[in-house]
Amino acid sequence: MTRSLLRPARFDDLGLKRALSDRLLPSLVGAMAFLAALALAGAIAASALAQHWQQGAGGMITVQVPQPTAPAVAGGSRADQVVAALRAAPGVASARALSEDELAALLRPWLGSSAGRIAIPLPAVIEVRIAGAGPDRLALAASLERAAPGTLIEEHDRWVRRLAALARSLQACAALAILVVGFVAVAVVGVATRAGLAARRDAIETVHGLGAPDGYIAGRFAGRATMLAAAGATAGALAALPVLIGLTALAAPFTGRETGDGPGALLTAMPAALWVALPLLPLIAAAIGWVTAQTTVRRWLRRLP
């Protein structure tokens, strides 16, 4: 009798197609996979943005020279002497004074179209790219003060630290969201499995009483839950793909990526980590479905008289 119970998997002797619906469970798991994909994209995007901004701001110093056209003590204008001192300083890769058009572009967000016609004298702004660990800040400040008294050095370390803290916070929020989605997925599969057990209680008790082992019954439920969870997660990941492509296009100017034209260029512009993470969602959902169903069914069978 036991051998007759162990039929091929294609025979639905427990009626699992009616017990575990092929609509509700995949839909709920698909929604969870969609949210998980967005959370993963947020974490990866936060890391990419922070890295891009840190490389830009962390490798640059801004120097302001008041009265740039006034003569310096050593000859020439104050701005020229500061640029020469910066280029001669160890740890400085390059030093370049911004043009009037560039200064006007910097002021335009605050002053509007009249930024290029401002009457008050503006300090010269020198963009300094540092090399390696950068120059000795105290020695550099003393050198610039000798070249042009009143020169100010504006470092971006504080903003770099804030950007790093913001990126870590966003990544922590994304990780928390993924954990919540995982717990919800476990709960959804568990509730669906318990509902299926309740719906097929008589059949399961009969088969179990005839000698079917717990592993066989749990395996049949786990196989059905695994298939439905994987299908739902695949649909959710595919549904998230157009959204991720659109977000990639919006974030490209801030990360320094060139997306080009057309959907193919946008696909290649998506981070490689995201391409690795998306196919993992159905596998993770399948694992959640299998483990949760196995655990739920085995606990339920142990309570049978």
pLDDT tens for each residue of 136-149: 888 888 888 888 88
Residue 6 has pLDDT above 80, yes or no: no
d(CA 140, CA 53): 24
Options 3.30.70, 3.40.50, 3.30.420, 1.10.1760; which CATH number does 60-155 get? Answer: 3.30.70
Pick from 11-20, 35-44, 56-65, 278-287: least confident: 11-20
Residue 239 has pLDDT above 90, yes or no: yes
Predicted local distance difference test score (pLDDT) of residue 11: 52
Mind listing the pLDDT tens digit for each residue in 123-137?
888 888 887 767 788
Cβ-in-10-Å burial (0-12, 13-18, 19+) of 46 comes to: buried
Closest CA to 185 of 38, 57, 27: 27
Mind listing the pLDDT tens digit for each residue in 273-286?
888 888 999 999 99
Predicted local distance difference test score (pLDDT) of residue 181: 93
Predicted local distance difference test score (pLDDT) of residue 304: 75
Predicted local distance difference test score (pLDDT) of residue 252: 66
Q: What is the pTM of this model?
A: 0.66
Q: Model confidence at 267, in pLDDT bands (50, 70, 90)?
A: low
Mean pLDDT of the chain: 79
d(CA 89, CA 139): 9
Predicted local distance difference test score (pLDDT) of residue 93: 84
| 51 vs 215 pLDDT, higher one | 215
CATH 3.30.70 domain position(s) in the chain: 60-155
